[in-house]
Structure 1
Amino acid sequence: MSLNIDETLKQQAIDWLVRLRAGDLTDAEMSAFAVWLAADYRHSEAFAFAEDLFDDMVVAAGLVSAANVADDIKSPGLSTGMRNRSSTFEQGSSGRTLPNRFRWGRAVLAIAAVWLFAVILVMPEQAHPFANLLSDYHTETGELRDIELTDGSHMLLNTNSAVSVVYDESKRHIVLHHGQVRFTVAKDNRRPFDVITDEFRVRALGTVFEVYRPDGDNVSVTVQQHAVTVAIGQDAGSAQEASFMLRAGQNLRYRFDGNPPTVRQVELDQASAWQQRRLFINDRPLGELIAELNRYRVGRIFLSDAQLSDLRVTGVFPLDKPDDILRAVSEVLGLQETRLGPLWVLLRR
């Protein structure tokens, strides 16, 4: 199968597959599907890609038996072809049984494939399992964790966050590897309190503030009480370093692309809602809500149509049960859910 399948065709194929699996196509729609499939060989490639993708998703999660997968996802012809290819591989092209080392190689590749799909499709997009191993403290998906440090300061770690703590006689440094953390800082005139992520440094001035690094491209700071200074640059104190003062109610967002950061006023009740395990959305796109929900649940939520992402949503939602939020929003917007096991959800018209 060609690996260079157009993204639009992939989306169309996934949409057709979901509708076929839902079993609610009319005769006219079935005819339209047949016309679409026969119109271009690339359509059939895209549809086969969609079948394989959903097949691998189910296998990777180990949610159903192989028999159910064959009955529910694959066509009989595809299943037979795959069985034939598997048998040929096992025996080799000459009909001889392959040595054990080749079977071990297959097992390793299979495990690697399952792990890859787990990372891509089971873990939230902002999960960083390897960084967690190097951190002093971290949270799992959906977890909210309060940490008291030796000086009396507190860190409230949101879902999928990781930090390392470096304290000595002259400094208090927190390295934010990824995620979102609120810091409540105890006063210590001898040792400044800094939060560091790459060349981005936040210094507390007797304050409550949060730092959020969702990925490797950007970071933001929101001040809840008092003030902080933000320094951006490779060398602290150098002429190339840019410095900013933020006060309560201000947010600074910086992308690691060399451009200046943006500073704006925020509603603290909304910005800090996650600290009470709530999600506040005020007339924002559905795609933004989905991105937030994906942070708090294992698996992934997909939209079948890019236009759905622009639908507007408003509400205050409890984060303890993200699937309940999804169900309520889908009902209000008139969307249907197609669930592929307990982990994956596809929203469609």
Structure 2
Amino acid sequence: MSAPDPQNRPSADRDRRVAQEAHAWVVRLTSGAATREDAEALAAWRSDPEQDAAFRAAAGLWKQAGHALAGSAPASRGDLQAMTRRRMLRRVAAGGIASASLAASATLALRWPVLNAAYRTGTGEIRTVALSGGIRIELDAETALDARLDDEGHDMVLHAGSVAVTVPASGAALTLGAGQGRLVTEPGRPAEFIVRCRPSEGLSGWVGGLDADMACLSGAITVVPAAGAQPTRLTAGEEIRIGPDARGVHPIDVAHAAAWRRGLLVFRDTPLSEVVDDLNRYRPGRIVLASSAAAARRVTGIFHLARPEEALRSIRTALALSEVRLGDRLVVLR
């Protein structure tokens, strides 16, 4: 409880201000635009016990809200339309604050590799980086990558998002890890490849587990899906998926494999869950799927990255989905 003010009244204004600041911090951290400086500023802000408690509570509410909206229990369209922000928060708060501490303490720890990465992009941001030795990296929106380049070799780790990497004919082999997998280029030979990672399904994803798609656009790469696993060599136009839903080597359309480099999103019979993951990287806020049936629906189409709301509207109409907006950023589809 807050200390009383000089007139022996509770410091309601301070409590309200601290709660608002805590909520703003959680929104910032989950927006995809947070910086290393933000993480350091948050750590300083949380050094105050009252502010730390407010942050833990806000983070717990945020996580539980996602569970409440995207849970397996079906909700009617009327129920969703009737769920105002206040009702949603009451429903979430009814679960108690016990899990808030765990959720909040994990929030910054799990995102620290992303916030601390050498190369990062925010929501809707695409960036090209030229490294020594002629290596060229294109980072998709909401991407985080670490890189170490020296005479002994070139090592990279993808923590989030997607990258397209072009390696020249000269120089040492390049290794890039994503989740449990890694790929290696052939020394002295040019190559171009794409790696995309995403949170694993279930508990593994909540604790930082990643799955990945690795594709070769030109030249050749060798992919090791996990430590001790048999390596697989990919040549131009081949891809492999790493994770529980792993697929063997399969062909891809090289022209469409990284259409985001040309300002486009191209989907061909893609599960809506994956489509939403992509749209969330370019649209401020979050799109949430409130039913497993909706998540499994398939999408085919070409959309412009600069117009994510138009893409959302087209997909919703084509699949006859209902939509509820909570504020101007959170969209629930069912």
Q: Check the 8 A contact 1:300/1:343 in 2, yes or no.
A: yes
Aligned to 1:213: 197
Q: Which runs of 5+ in 1 are unaligned?
A: 23-47, 57-77, 79-108, 121-127, 235-239
Q: Distance in 1 between matches of 2:315 and 2:180?
A: 39
Q: State yes or no: 1:253 paired with 2:253.
A: no
% of aligned pairs identical? 27
Structure 1 residue aligned with 2:169, among 151, 162, 187?
187
Q: Distance in 2 between matches of 1:171 and 1:133?
A: 25
Q: Distance in 2 between matches of 1:318 and 1:345?
A: 19
Q: State yes or no: 1:196 paired with 2:177.
A: yes
Amino acid of the residue matched to residue 230 of structure 1? V
Q: Distance in 2 between matches of 1:292 and 1:161?
A: 12
Q: CA distance change for structure 1 residues 51 and 198 in 2, over 3 Å: closer, same or farther?
A: closer
Q: Distance in 2 between matches of 1:291 and 1:173?
A: 27
Q: Select between 242-251 and 327-336 the one with higher mean Cα deviation.
A: 327-336
Cα shift at 1:287: 3.5
Q: CA distance change for structure 1 residues 224 and 53 in 2, over 3 Å: closer, same or farther?
A: farther
Q: CA distance change for structure 1 residues 245 and 188 in 2, over 3 Å: closer, same or farther?
A: same
Q: CA distance change for structure 1 residues 133 and 286 in 2, over 3 Å: closer, same or farther?
A: closer
Q: Distance in 2 between matches of 1:53 and 1:145?
A: 40
Q: Select between 289-298 and 175-184 the one with higher mean Cα deviation.
A: 289-298
Q: Check the 8 A contact 1:153/1:186 in 2, yes or no.
A: yes
Amino acid of the residue matched to residue 232 of structure 2? F
Aligned to 1:137: 119
Q: Distance in 2 between matches of 1:129 and 1:246?
A: 31
Cα shift at 1:247: 0.3
Cα shift at 1:336: 4.0
Q: Check the 8 A contact 2:135/2:165 in 1, yes or no.
A: yes
Cα shift at 1:202: 1.3
3-state SS of paired residue (1:17):
helix
Q: How many residues were matched structurally?
A: 248
Structure 2 residue aligned with 1:290, among 244, 256, 276?
276
Cα shift at 1:261: 6.0
Q: State yes or no: 1:151 paired with 2:133.
A: yes
After TM superposition, the score normalised by the length of structure 1 is 0.61
Q: Distance in 2 between matches of 1:176 and 1:8?
A: 31
Cα shift at 1:164: 1.5
Q: CA RMSD in A?
A: 3.6
Q: Distance in 1 between matches of 2:221 and 2:327?
A: 46
Q: CA distance change for structure 1 residues 171 and 284 in 2, over 3 Å: closer, same or farther?
A: closer
Cα shift at 1:131: 1.4
Query: Residues 19-59 of structure 1: CA distance to partner in whole angstroms, max 9, x if unpaired?
Result: 3369xxxxxxxxxxxxxxxxxxxxxxxxx9745258x8xxx
Q: CA distance change for structure 1 residues 341 and 277 in 2, over 3 Å: closer, same or farther?
A: same
Cα shift at 1:221: 0.8
Q: State yes or no: 1:274 paired with 2:260.
A: yes
Cα shift at 1:8: 5.0
3-state SS of paired residue (2:215):
strand
Cα shift at 1:289: 2.2
After TM superposition, the score normalised by the length of structure 2 is 0.63
Q: Distance in 2 between matches of 1:179 and 1:168?
A: 25
Amino acid of the residue matched to residue 144 of structure 1? I
Q: Structure 2 matches for 1:1-349, cutoff 5 A?
A: 7-9=71-73, 11-12=74-75, 15-20=77-82, 50=88, 52=90, 129-189=111-171, 191-197=172-178, 200-205=181-186, 206-215=190-199, 216-234=209-227, 240-255=228-243, 262-348=248-334
Cα shift at 1:193: 1.6
Structure whose alpha-carbon radius of gyration is higher:
1
Q: CA distance change for structure 1 residues 21 and 160 in 2, over 3 Å: closer, same or farther?
A: closer
3-state SS of paired residue (1:188):
coil
Q: Distance in 1 between matches of 2:150 and 2:263?
A: 33
Cα shift at 1:246: 0.3
Cα shift at 1:251: 0.2
3-state SS of paired residue (1:242):
coil
Aligned to 1:35: none
Query: Residues 284-333 of structure 1: CA distance to partner in whole angstroms, max 9, x if unpaired?
Result: 34333223212322322233444333444321001122112111222334
Q: CA distance change for structure 1 residues 222 and 21 in 2, over 3 Å: closer, same or farther?
A: same
Q: CA distance change for structure 1 residues 196 and 329 in 2, over 3 Å: closer, same or farther?
A: closer
Q: Distance in 1 between matches of 2:310 and 2:196?
A: 26
Query: Residues 61-115 of structure 1: CA distance to partner in whole angstroms, max 9, x if unpaired?
Result: xxxxxxxxxxxxxxxxx9xxxxxxxxxxxxxxxxxxxxxxxxxxxxxx9xx88x9
Amino acid of the residue matched to residue 203 of structure 1? V
3-state SS of paired residue (2:124):
coil
Q: CA distance change for structure 1 residues 312 and 253 in 2, over 3 Å: closer, same or farther?
A: closer
